[in-house]
Structure 1
Amino acid sequence: MTSPAAPTDAAALDSVNAELARIARHQNAGRFAEAGTALDRLLEQYPGHPRLVHLKGLNLVHLGQAEEGMALLDEVITHQPEDVAVLVDIGTLLAQQGKMDAAREKFQTAVEVAPNYALAHANLGAALVVAKDYARAIPHLDRAIALDPDVLDVHLNLAQACLRTGHFQRAVDVLFRALAIDPQSVAVHVNLAHALFRRERHEAAEHHARRAIELAPQAGEAWLHLGNTLAASGRMEEAAQTFLRAAALPGMALSAFTRLANLRKIKSDSPEWQGLQAVAQKADQLPDEARATLEFALGKAQDDLGDPDAAFAHYAEGNRLTRALFPYDRAANTARAERLRALVIPALLDRHAGAGLRGVAPVFVCGLPRSGTTLMEQMLSRHPAVQAGGEMLAVQRAFQANPRLRAVLEERAADTDLTDDDFTRLGEEYQAFLHGEGLRSPRVTDKMPGNQLYIGLLALALPEAKFLIMRRHPLDGLMSNYLQNFGQNQPVSTDLEDLAESWRQFDLNAKHWTSLLPDRVQEVPYEALVADPEGQARAVLEFLGLDWHGDVLDHTASTRQVNTASVAQVRAPIYGTSVARWRRYGAHLGPLAKALGEALTAEERLACGLDA
């Protein structure tokens, strides 16, 4: 790159600017060859000028000469390493080529060079969303909006990051601001339908799903969100018809038929069964994650059709595919549970007895997944003193905001380093998450199952909180996990022996917390809950210090949506057909029964093909 020449007087500058405007018009119209000719003429007059070389590089990329174009852009950066516009353009081109790591480096450099350049923050935030590094993406997207509040895509990316981190109300707020930018945006309406669904505002979610469909009848994702919302509202037949409409749209068959399969019992003439079989004919053309989705749906279909052997084979293949995509570290998870039990002992409770945030009394409904947490919360949501929160990431976010607690949990610091303020701050961060989601009642339910791991620390952080630990027969509960497609959200469910170890650690946790905190922690057996709903509900309300309210027995009338895998079940009356369902698959559960060992009776071991 030669020493750049530049216009030397106002007339020459005006002439160059006019030519650049003409070049821009060529490019906007797709006339890149004409734009290139004009740029070459300018470069003959002003050889090596970085702005012109920059534009020529971009133009070559548009002409399909990506390598030559990138070389010119790199040449500019070599001589002007802090040219933020070129850095952003190079990063954008790298991202378009799928080179996301290199793209993020360029965007990061651009942000450091020009902290107030909106596009640099916007593109770095977008790249971090693609990398699923949502926590880091959010501040950059926030900064981009602060600098330039009128860019629709930045709002959409921020909403996506908020959804992925469990900040559902924040996502709603961001999307309503996006709607003010473009009320006709299909993407905004689709994302609002999703965010409002997760926020459990089903009427509003339905409205925006339908509005997206009005604007773009072929918007398959809008149809899926509409079906999800109708199902979660208990309008099962409408949901089924909506999923069938979605299935007819390009690329939507697998997603729609899978949702429909999980919504109702499949019969041999059900359209979803026929549709899944058609998709299966081309299974070898699907990526592994989609194939796993198909296998789980086929398993559910074969189970409904009365062929448990064929069903289990599909479930096993779905889990095999998922396990390869999302490995699980059994040793690390076992070590974490052991660490928490060793950390929270009477000495720690005594030392920090005065800690924590008072005035808020959440009810944590926890346990292993598929243990009745959704049913329990649905029942409690019918009590007038209780506000249901659903599965929230509040605990995870509160821990992330407390580095000293994390250091102690990871054994990088001693527990004696902890102060009362650490636990109070944990409670404050938890409450801040609730308030951000519009949850302000003193009694809010949090049914994230994994919170059972942290009961001891949460009891210190929130001294008025109560904890319900849902228990279910291990064969029923763990088999139900194995048959559920959790994808990357719960990789432990892909292996029967891993599931057995997770149950063993849960069992030790439950015994530890109930022994350590008998006035704060109560177990609720799932089998007893479905056998005697009123008796169990009375015991739970008494434990929580709440008056009896008969509406808790009519959980199907709850206005809350159900956004977990339990939709169809909890919208039906309480029933006991899922008790001892494991026997249907007993012949395939030998590895699970063997790993559970003494947790099973001799008869149960025999039913799984093992010696008593």
Structure 2
Amino acid sequence: MASSSPITKKPDPVMGKLKDIIALIGKGKFAEAEAAARQVQQSAPGHADANNILGIVLINRKNPAEAVKYLGIAARKEPGNAIYLNNLGCAYLDLGLIELAQAPLERALAINPKLTKSSWLLGEFYRFAGKPERAWPYHEMACRDEPDNADYKFALGKTLEMLGRADEARACFAALRDHPVHGDFVLYRLAVNDKHDLASPLLAEIESKLLVPSANRRALNALHVGAAKIREQNGDYARAFTHYQKANIADMVPFDLVQYRTWVDALIATFTPEVIAQHQGKGSDSDVPVFVVGMPRSGTTLVEQIIARHPQAAGAGELDRIWKIAGNAQYRGDVSKFLPVFAGAEAPKVAAMAESYVKLLKFFGPEARRVVDKLPHNFEFLGLIALLWPNAHVIHMRRNPLDTCLSCYQNRLSEAHGYSRDLTTLGLYYREYARLMAHWRKVLPLKFLDVDYETLTSDFEAQAKQIIAFLDLDWDPACLSFHEGTSAVRTFSRNQVRSPIYQSSVGRWRRYETQLQPLIEALGDTV
């Protein structure tokens, strides 16, 4: 009879290699970590930890699209592992696939209620979804569990800001004003969310900081804009404009206007009535999508909120899904490749892609007949939209070109808006936008409504009724109470839409007429 002895579990050789990769991540050596993680994953493709680590490295390498693949494998291998589910949900949020993020994050928190990061990410999920009232408990929970975590506190402040709970948001931000990462951005938010006079200690604090400029260009931009807003509030327009100039110089992004003009030329040449008629029939016949387009800062948020107050409509905020679909279809870049790609695509696959976007909209308004995507720059993709969603409604917001461009110049637009950093480039870009929109209005068979911001603010009820009628919805007086809603307001306009209609933004450019001469010259006859 053989003697019994304890069974010794063999060490997992993969885990030793993964520890080395984790050490590389800790040192910020992400390229080395990726190479090593790929090698381990290829040698053990079914190993949950190997897939999870590779996914984490890819997120750090700004490649969430590929990260999702490996994080998904890990989560399927061990569906009870809260960490894997949390990482998968995080990657979905990074990708903008918001409709997919909720389930893994909720499962992660259900498995491990003490997983504070999942609480925070669920708060982020609901904030991105335009539901700050549902985000708040999760952000509050994360801050309660880790009161010294600045990221959680900053997120809570932004959620409170969306909810209009100004005093609480202010207190949340004020606690971070000396933080090495968030401090400068906190000072900006404190500046723009309140009224301050020129003797304000906050203005003195910001301008004192600017004497020793931050190396972080976005932080430097934020401080200059914060100071500019306070000076502008008090009529000190000359010094305010100097701050706006310095803000844009600090955050200058290269923008190739010649290349952009060439792309607009190609769109105009490609999308003719004959081409559109020839290639229709592959998309979705849904009439749920409503696209509110135009230049940034033209009033798109106001129109979205009017519509979103209707009981049969909803607002989804600014979604980047069309931009991604356009990229995959070769619509962006070399437009000559778009039609062959589109023509060669199988009709069922195109229809499924179009329907997936409709499902995303229905995520924001499950019972809604109309859901608004108010990403202004969808004006560039109206050719694609006409093919994929021919029954969509398009509302084109127009505003005085000088007021529009000035507002773009004064606000902290992302790197995607490199054209906004220089007044001459901004004016020339506006001309391209106007040229492209004129073409779309001539050739596209979409339902179009042009709305002028100035008319909307001066004759609000009549214009609101026209908008609702255009969407084939019965009039509802709730649409006049747009300022009582909070849904999906994630842009710079969040403070404006909490107030009844006003006209103080009309003609603002006159305050800076002298400084705006390069813009006026570039705009030419569009003014």
TM-score of the pair, normalised by structure 2: 0.90
1:501 corresponds in structure 2 to: 428
Bigger shift: 587-596 or 411-420?
Answer: 411-420
For the pair shown, the structure with the greater C-alpha radius of gyration is 1
Equivalent-residue separation in structure 2 for 1:252 and 1:267 (angstroms): 24
The equivalent residue for 1:574 is 501
Instruction: For residue 445 of structure 1, give the secondary structure of its aligned residue in structure 2.
Output: strand
Q: Tell whether the 8 Å contact from 1:229 to 1:561 is kept in structure 2 after alignment.
A: no
Structure with more relative contact order (C-alpha pairs < 8 Å, separation 6 or more): 2
> Per the alignment, in what secondary structure is the counterpart of residue 226 of structure 2?
helix
- Structure 1 regions of 5+ residues with no counterpart? 1-9, 21-50, 52-82, 601-612
Within a 5 Å distance, the mapping from 1:279-294 to structure 2 comes to 279-284=209-214, 286-294=215-223
Aligned with residue 384 of structure 2, among 457, 462, 471:
457
Task: Give the match for residue 411 of structure 1.
Answer: 337
User: For residues 245 and 415 of structure 2, what CA distance do their matches in structure 1 show?
Assistant: 16
**Aligned ranges 1:108-127 → 2 under 5 Å:** 108-127=38-57
- Which amino acid is the alignment partner of residue 251 of structure 2? T
Q: C-alpha separation between the residues in 2 aligned to 1:418 and 1:463?
A: 19
Residue in structure 1 matched with residue 439 of structure 2 by the alignment: 512
Range with bigger deviation, 110-119 or 573-582: 110-119
1:230 deviation in Å? 2.4
Whole-angstrom distance in 2 between the partners of 1:181 and 1:165: 24
Alignment identity in percent?
Answer: 31
Secondary structure (helix, strand or coil) at the match of 1:387 reads strand
1:106 aligned to 2:32? no
1:175 aligned residue (102, 105, 110): 105
* Corresponding residue number in structure 2 for 1:541: 468
Q: Which moved more, 1:86-95 or 1:180-189?
A: 86-95
Aligned counterpart for 2:230 among listed residues 291, 297, 301: 301
SS of 1:364's equivalent?
A: strand
Would the aligned equivalents of 1:230 and 1:238 in 2 still touch at CA under 8 Å? yes
Q: Tell me, yes or no, if the aligned pair for 1:228 and 1:239 is still in contact at 8 Å.
A: yes
Q: C-alpha distance in 2, partners of 1:473/1:181?
A: 54
SS at match of 2:198: coil
Taking the aligned partners of 1:439 and 1:13, their CA distance within structure 2 comes to 55
Mapped contact 1:292–1:317 kept (Cα < 8 A): yes
Alignment partners' CA distance in 2, 1:341 and 1:541:
30
Please give the per-residue CA displacement for 1:293-321, whole angstroms capped at 9, x wherever unaligned.
22222222222232222222222222122
List aligned pairs for 1:36-115, cutoff 5 A. 84-85=14-15, 87-115=17-45
Aligned to 1:370, which of 259, 272, 297? 297
How far apart are residue 222 of structure 1 and its match? 2.8
User: Which residues of structure 2 form unaligned runs of 5+?
Assistant: none
Residue 480 of structure 1 and its aligned partner are, at CA, apart by 0.6
Rounded to whole Å, the distance in 1 between the matches of 2:396 and 2:228 is 30
Query: Is the Cα contact below 8 Å between 2:326 and 2:384 reproduced in 1?
Result: no
Change (3 A) 1:248 1:151: farther
Q: 1:103 to 1:328 in 2, by over 3 A?
A: farther
The 1-side partners of 2:467 and 2:52 are apart by: 49
1:317 aligns with 2:239: no
Q: Supply the distance in 1 between the matched residues of 2:47 and 2:174 (Cα, whole angstroms).
A: 46
User: d(CA) in 2 for partners of 1:173 and 1:279?
Assistant: 43
Asked whether the equivalents of residues 99 and 360 of structure 2 are also in contact (C-alpha less than 8 Å), the reply is no
Question: Which residue number in structure 2 is paired with residue 276 of structure 1?
Answer: 206
Deviations 1:415-453 (A, max 9, x none): 783568275344223224334556453311110111111
Q: Following TM superposition, by how much is the alpha carbon of 1:92 offset from its aligned partner in structure 2, in angstroms?
A: 3.1
1:64 corresponding residue in structure 2: none
- Check if 1:394 corresponds to 2:321: yes
Task: Say whether the 8 Å CA contact 2:225–2:244 is kept in structure 1.
Answer: yes
- Which of 378, 397, 412 aligns to 1:470? It is 397
How many residue pairs get matched? 524
> Would you say the 8 A contact 1:425–1:461 is kept in 2?
no
Distance change >3 Å, CA 149–CA 438, structure 1 → 2: farther
C-alpha deviation, 1:332, in angstroms: 3.3
Three-state SS of the structure 2 residue aligned to 1:563 is: coil
Instruction: Report deviation, 1:477.
Output: 0.6
1:452, 1:551 → 2: CA distance? 28
TM normalised by structure 1 equals 0.78
Task: Report deviation, 1:376.
Answer: 0.5
